[in-house]
Amino acid sequence: MDISLDNGWQILPIDGDTGTAYMAVNNDERIFLKRNTSPFLAALSLEEIVPRLIWTKTMVSGDTLTAQEWMNGRSLKREEMCSVQVSQLLYRMHHSKLLKKMLLQVGGKTYTPDDLLAQYFTNLSSDLRKHPLLMRVVARLREDMPRLESSNYEVCHGDLNHKNWLLSESGQLYLVDWEAVRIADPALDLSMLMCQYVPRKDWEQWLTRYEGKKPSADLSARIDWYAMINLLLVIKHNYERGHFHEMNQDIIKLSQFIKNKNNNAKHC
């Protein structure tokens, strides 16, 4: 794509991206450019969840180009995902009326538990459909499906991998890469993060820090539900790509999750 800026700016593609992100350089000044970003970026910038939005332009081609403040920094390490900064930013994002209003205005999709189950069964192979453990998990998911009112759904990032958290040199934390953003039960995001990065024994402590109070039994149950459906979707994803070793590891992880959940229930 031919991108040009006035006053001596040099445009460089960013390695490893999908061809939509660039760095613009003019002497010692840098800005981050991205093509065809959602208007939702403006709200994220106002809430200081992403680096500051500088301007938006429509190109001759019809593409939209956005410029953001360039941040020198690094992605979070896995062990840093348990930090107070992460839980505070996530809570602020999940409870932002501005973000929810803007995402609805630009046509953000809403995901319900029924939608996620339907996604799992769409073109599901007979091997997975007949797998005994997966069949038991699906039956359990149908029986225990969360019924949170849609009015309590919030903006969810949808991909809380540690590589999507940017810590600037000044210590400011940002959350980037919003391609999977949706309106959903916040427990969907929480389950993704906690299953990947927070030891099970520390879940209550992490949630207490996130909410500012001891988590309710309903929230904990919803997190468990979304954790199981997420594992099913990952298992399906790996099966479809022929990554059978990874798929089997996730099946073991799901089995262990069910075992731990049952043991916790016995101790209640």
Long-range contacts formed by 106-112: CB under 8 A, 24+ apart: 106/38, 106/39, 106/40, 108/40, 108/155, 108/181, 108/182, 108/183, 109/182, 109/183, 110/150, 110/153, 110/182, 110/183, 110/184, 111/156, 111/182, 111/183, 111/184, 111/188, 112/150, 112/184
Alpha carbons 226 and 187: distance in angstroms, whole number: 7
Whether the Cβ atoms of residue 178 and residue 219 lie closer than 8 Å to each other: no
Element (H, E) at 183: strand 182-184
Of the candidates 90, 101, 109, the residue with the CA atom closest to the CA atom of residue 181: 109
Q: Which of 6, 159, 202, 250 is catalytic?
A: 159
For residue 160, give Cα distances in angstroms to 57, 178, 182, 217, 239: 29, 10, 13, 23, 22
For residue 206, what is the DSSP state?
H
For residue 110, what is the DSSP state?
B
Structure tokens at 109: 């999709």
Residue 51: how many other CB atoms lie within 10 Å: 20
Alpha carbons 54 and 226: distance in angstroms, whole number: 37
For residue 124, what is the DSSP state?
-
Is 114 annotated as catalytic? Answer: no
Which residues are catalytically annotated? 159
